[in-house]
Structure 1
Amino acid sequence: MSVAEPPPVPAPETGPRPAGAPGNDAPPRPPFAQDWRRIARMGAVGAVGQIFISLSNMPVKLDGRAIIEGILSLGYLSLVVLPLAAGSRVGHQLRREGVPFHRPGAHEVVGGAACGVLVGGGLSLLAILIANFDLREPLVNWSPILADLLAFNRGTAFAVVIWLALGAAVGAAGGLLRVVPPAARRVLWTVVLTLFGAAVLESLTTDLAEGMGIEGAVDWFYAPRGGLTISGAIVLALGSAVLAVAGRGRIRQARARIDSLEGPARNRANLGLILATGAVLVILPMFAGKLTNELLANVGLFVLLALGLNIVVGLAGILDLGYVAFFAVGSYSAAVLTAATSPKIHPELPWFVALFGVVVLTGLVGLFIGAPVIRMRGDYLAIVTLGFGEIIRLLFLSDWLSGWFGGSQGITNIPGAEIFGLAEVAGTDPRSVFYLVLAFCAIAIYVSWRLERSRIGRAWMAVREDETVAEAMGINTVNVKLLAFVVGAMLGSFSGAIFSAKVGSVFPASFLILVSIVILVVVIFGGMGNIVGVIAGSAVLIGVLGGPKQPGLLAEFSEFKLLIYGALLVWMMLARPEGLIPSVRRTRELHQEELAQDAWLRGETHDEQDGIGTSATGRSGAASGNGSTDRPSGDSS
């Protein structure tokens, strides 16, 4: 019986693609040929979102933080984001094979304006409801000041009209963003992000300017009551626009040049970037005040925790919701071994000597917790780890162990960390705390980097991708996952030991389950499995919003941290599940079926390295969603 030969693979297309194929634009649509059902749906969602934001009292709380003096505050900015996003999103088109892709035009502007009117209509409706009904009884969070804020202190009728007009204008601006050329759009976004970033970083910039003796120049940019001055905003806008035009494509070219390096040249480039970053982090605290150094120390503690959780979640794929248990064990064990006020035993060991005991004890706790639950998978494992995290906290809180750990009274008067008997690092000197945290972050980064590229790291990633296949390939999945649990626990113990020395006391209330959730959000937001992404996620979330009890640059968001964390988590899962700075391997895993589908639609799933094509059967199998792809393992998206 003869085997039928597979049909030949079509050669890559060299001529122009047919009309309607990706890469060919159709003429713009008529301005009023809108998908009114889509506009109504997005406008209704946006209106509900506007009402929810307003009734949460966010605009009133944030109105005290000025972006540009006398023109825009953070409160009003929170009310115009949704019309802008809806107006831009309503004109979004997907490029599909055989479906015309219309060039942007007046159609997008009209659709954005119509959607913006509906979104702004939510605030108009809210203004009418506030004026005619008493909403204080069912909705207790909002403030009566909201009515004046929505009306600009001019009455309900003005509020109704102005928010319809503002919604239309902002929505049209969102649609216009799709019409302007990409170069102009890039300049515009650079200006907007520069102004917003300068306003958000006001306290940090002022603190650094005082340390460098240039506070006079900074005072010209910032108003006495906060926010950018009008003249300062104009100068920053012009400067950022010039830099955006002058540096067009430079950053992308530099990144492409670095990515193209291989072997020793790539290692030298990476080493240069690491040394430059390290030099900045060493020099920056010397010119910063206590506020900035305290912020940097808090960010560093969460970087340490996130690096440990990244081993467990990012590399091994174990959803651990009780990671705060290792943070607590590290803090309490360091306190017991170093403090003279420890209830049961108080050996008063030097901090560095006690650190070895802390790491060993936390590793044993990780082994104790992981051994009975590591054979579970998915949601069951997450629920059990969540329970163990709470069990550890309740044990420290219980009267049963109060003779060892102080119960609800905790352990106080914990000495600082002695550095080889030469200096003592304590919370009264945030700069020294940051340098200690920076040293341990460097150790954790190196350990994570070496493990990721080792045989055990590849085994972790194999388990994460498909545990059944990894087990079939001969990997002892139980031992591999248990090792990830123990290593993650040890890295988390570093942060706990530094935390106890920094604060000088430990209490069970410092180790709520919320800490685990925040660390998990940091890892997901930054990019699971990527060390740089985890660091970036910690800097953005903890540095700007703050931790569960630690303040960030935007102290006004303290009441809305959990709301923003939840919104960011939902958005990341829907729009960018690989994270802010994703791992290349993780990106391929999440978008593997999309890559296979795209290759099948193009009809050319050939190997770009050796030119070997695949059969039509292989292409249809890849497109069927079975997770297989014919792209080479080194190919990128």
Structure 2
Amino acid sequence: MSFNTVTSSFKVTRRRRSPLMEAVRLGLIAGAALVAFALIGAYSAMDKRAVIEGTVTLSQLASLLIVFAAGHVAARDARSGTSAALLNAVVAGLVAGACLSVLVWLIMAVNLRTTLVAASPALAKALSLGARIASLEALAQLPLIGAASALVGALVGRLPAGAGKAALTGLAAVITAGLFRDVFASMLERLPDLTGPDHEVFGSAGLNPGAAVALFFLAAAFALVRDRLALKRGGVPRSGLSRPGLVLLIAGVVLLPLVTNDFVAQVAMLVALYMLMGMGLNIELGLAGLVDLGFVAFFAVGAYTVALLCSSGPLAIADVSFWVALPVAIVLAAVAGMIFGLPVLRVRGDYLAMATLGLGEIIRVLVLSDALSPYLGGSQGIIEIDHPRLFGWELKSPVALYYLALVLAGVVAFVSLRLQNAKIGRAWLAMREDEDVAQALGIDPVASKLLAYTIGAAFAGAAGAVFAALIGSVYPHSFQLLVSINVLAILVIGGLGSLPGVLVGAIVLIGLPELLREFGEFRYLFYGIALVAMMHVRAEGLWPAAYAKEGVHAS
């Protein structure tokens, strides 16, 4: 690397290497990633889950995708023709696979377990892929498999744009179906008038090989047809929501708990809860541009209000219905938002984020304090919260509480949409883009911010009320800073200012890690990698708002 001084700043330039040396460098980077993936124990943990029955496990798939990406980049960076690009990809794959072969040899030749616990004979056996451990066959097949995977990545990169996108869509469909086999299998089992379709599509632990091939081509064909239809419309991206996609998304959200098992229903309930919180923060951050790291404080206000009004324990101040306590919780959270907003909303940007972070911590410390312990229970919390009742039916099952959160989220989404299209919504968007220009146009920034902060806090209070009814108890440790960060990440991943984006972000960031809970902390490894990658390839979010998409296409 070299540094050149340009206008009193530093510009980083990379020394150009020969294409072959660049391929070797990419192979070493991929090989280091593969070795690290194995040595932290992730390979052994994920090798028990099959993606394609009897063919590919999750750990093997993750390793192949790393080398696939290296081959794709090596072919893309090549400055010569197709043959040289494919050769560079093969070299990168060979080097990456050779790194794994060296690891297998070291595990069996040297006792690495004194410092690296995961470097066990079981790992060497898994990496030998059925051959005799550390045999010549086992050591030779890893570079060959790496070369083949990198070559496929290069070929996909060399395809025309539409065909390459279709191939990646088919691959994503196969990975999704195999990874979440239990969810899709439980849905197929409940289809009427069909006899065991899940056994034809899914094996005991993953997707059947024949079904995987069929799904790949179906998904790829769908992507090609969709692109052809877009070209017939002139190739101009739609500004706004895709109505068929939105209808399918809503239908899936409504029907999912009815066609899956209880575990998926519990995960869906958690997704609905975070979706409700995300819509509240979407008012503050997505529309008004207010970075609120203390959002969990209003969530706690709503939860403790319902706990005090609906609990049958010793700390209860009343014994009323949830439907009476819900509006009280919303109003108190809104009042708290207005009170807390007055001293902090005159600051901007990072300073606002730090101020709201302080307010969130103040609430958490107060709830834990000895002074409020006789009223709020301190670290012991409040228990024995009654579940909501509707026409004499107690809503305590995961499905019932899921639909309660979903109905509230629908109401909040309707209010948010009306506000977004109203005069105040346009004022919020103007402030988000440039507060000084908005003020010059006659918009009162403090009043507009305070209204956004108050409404967002009210929605957070509604989410807290549902949370208290869901859990049946509230504890201070449930209202950590991580809750605010998760809600913020949902908006960024889904798309700032986009209501469907809130739903998509909640599914991706909350639902998917919960469905992969069997892998423990390792699921967050790919969670983090996916977030970093998405910020590079789709910074506007998975489902950006209409005005955000127009701005991206215009630029």
User: Which TM-score tier does this pair reach, normalised by the shorter chain?
Assistant: 0.7 to 0.9
**Displacement, 1:253?**
5.8
CA shift for structure 1 position 497: 0.8
Deviation at 1:135, TM superposition (A): 4.1
Structure 2 distance, partners of 1:339, 1:215, is 47
Normalised by the size of structure 1, how large is the TM-score? 0.76
Q: Displacement of 1:191 after TM fit?
A: 2.9
Residue 443 of structure 1: aligned partner: 411
Aligned residues: 536
Letter of the structure 2 residue corresponding to residue 83 of structure 1 = V
Give the equivalent residue in structure 2 for 1:109: 86
Q: Tell me the CA shift for residue 199 of structure 1.
A: 1.4
Q: 1: CA distance between counterparts of 2:233 and 2:119?
A: 49
Deviations 1:212-269 (A, max 9, x none): 3546111222222x102233334434544555566662477689799489xxxx9xx9
Q: Could you state the TM-score of these two structures normalised by the residue count of structure 2? A: 0.87
Q: How do 1:218-617 and structure 2 match up within 5 A?
A: 218-224=198-204, 226-240=205-219, 243=222, 249-250=228-229, 259=238, 278=250, 281-341=253-313, 343=315, 345-419=316-390, 421-426=391-396, 429-546=397-514, 552=515, 554-587=516-549
State how far apart, in whole Å, the 2-side matches of 1:254 and 1:204 are.
36
CA contact (8 A) 1:338 1:414 kept: yes
Match of 1:202 in 2: 181
Name 2:58's counterpart in structure 1.
Answer: 74
185, 192, 199: which is aligned to 2:164?
185
1:582 partner letter = P
1:340-382 Cα distance to aligned partner (Å, 9 max, x none): 2151x42112111111110111112222332222222222322
Task: Work out the CA distance in 2 between the residues paired with 1:274 and 1:80.
Answer: 33
Distance 1:162 1:404 in 2: 66
Indicate conservation of the 8 Å contact 2:388/2:394, yes or no. yes
Q: Cα distance 1:516–1:54, how it changes in 2: closer, same or farther (>3 A)?
A: farther
The 5-angstrom pairing of residues 42-121 of structure 1 reads 42-92=26-76, 105-121=82-98
In the superposition, relative to structure 1, how do residues 130 and 111 fare at CA in structure 2: closer, same or farther (>3 Å)?
same
Which whole-Å CA distance do the structure 2 matches of 1:538 and 1:255 have between them? 33
Amino acid at match of 1:170: S
1:485 and 1:571 map into 2 onto residues whose CA distance is 31
Amino acid in the other structure paired with 1:339? S
Aligned residue identity for 1:222: F
State the distance in 1 between where 2:231 and 2:549 align: 19
Asked if the contact 1:341–1:413 (Cα under 8 Å) also holds between the matched residues in 2, the reply is: yes
CA contact (8 A) 1:336 1:342 kept: no
Q: What percent identity do the matched residue pairs reach?
A: 35
Shift of residue 38, structure 1, vs aligned partner:
3.6
Report the CA distance between 1:102 and its aligned residue.
7.7
Inter-CA distance 34–103: structure 2 relative to 1 (3 Å threshold): closer
CA contact (8 A) 1:521 1:565 kept: no
Match of 2:8 in 1: none
Aligned residue number for residue 12 of structure 1: none
Contact 2:345 2:352 in 1 (8 A): yes
Whole-Å Cα distance in 2 between the matches of residues 170 and 56 of structure 1? 23
Q: Displacement of 1:277 after TM fit?
A: 5.6
The answer as to 2:217 corresponding to 1:217 is no
Distance 1:259 1:526 in 2: 18
Amino acid at match of 1:415: D
CA distance in 2 between counterparts of 1:255 and 1:138 reads: 60
Query: 1:116 Cα deviation (Å)?
Result: 2.2
Q: Find the residue that maps to 1:67 and give its secondary structure.
A: strand
Shift of 1:442: 0.8
Q: 1:273 to 1:216 in 2, by over 3 A?
A: closer
Paired with 1:235 and 1:276, the residues of 2 have a C-alpha distance of 22
| 1:572 to partner: Cα distance | 3.0
Larger Rg: 1
2:143, 2:197 → 1: CA distance? 41
User: Structure 2 CA distance, aligned partners of 1:400 and 1:559?
Assistant: 37
Deviation at 1:141, TM superposition (A): 6.3
Gaps of 5+ in 2: 1-16
Distance 1:310 1:188, change over 3 A: same
* Contact 1:584/1:636, CA 8 A, preserved across alignment: no
Between the aligned partners of 1:336 and 1:119, the Cα distance in structure 2 is 59
**Could you tell me which amino acid in structure 2 is paired with residue 378 of structure 1?**
G
Rounded to whole Å, the distance in 1 between the matches of 2:524 and 2:342 is 32
Amino acid in the other structure paired with 2:431: V
2:239–2:549 CA contact under 8 A, matched in 1: no
Deviations 1:433-455 (A, max 9, x none): 12211211111111111122222
Distance 1:580 1:142, change over 3 A: farther
2:134 corresponds in structure 1 to 156
The amino acid of 2:68's aligned partner reads L
Specify whether residues 200 and 42 from structure 1 end up closer, same or farther in structure 2 by C-alpha distance, changes over 3 A only: same
Quote the Cα distance in structure 2 between the aligned partners of 1:215 and 1:485: 53
Partner SS state of residue 400, structure 1: coil
Partners of 1:321 and 1:255 in 2: CA distance: 43
Amino acid at match of 2:290: I
Cα gap change, 1:370 to 1:45, in 2 (>3 Å): farther
Q: For structure 1, which runs of at least 5 residues remain unmatched after alignment?
A: 1-32, 94-100, 547-551, 592-634
1:108–1:178 contact (8 Å) kept in structure 2 = no
**Which residue is equivalent to 2:7?**
none
Structure 2 CA distance, aligned partners of 1:443 and 1:156? 61
Task: After TM superposition, give the deviation of residue 50 of structure 1 in Å.
Answer: 2.1
Deviates more, 1:119-128 or 1:57-66: 119-128
Check whether the contact 1:206–1:215 (CA below 8 A) recurs between aligned residues: no
Offset of residue 274 of structure 1:
6.5
SS, match of residue 443 in structure 1: helix
What is the one-letter code of the residue matched to 1:513? L
Two-structure CA RMSD over aligned residues (Å): 3.1
CA distance, structure 1, for counterparts of residue 109 and residue 376 of structure 2: 57
Alignment check: 8 A CA contact 2:265 2:398 kept: yes
Q: Distance in 2 between matches of 1:505 and 1:248?
A: 50
Q: Is the Cα–Cα contact under 8 Å of residues 19 and 79 in structure 2 kept in the other structure?
A: no
1:604 aligns with none
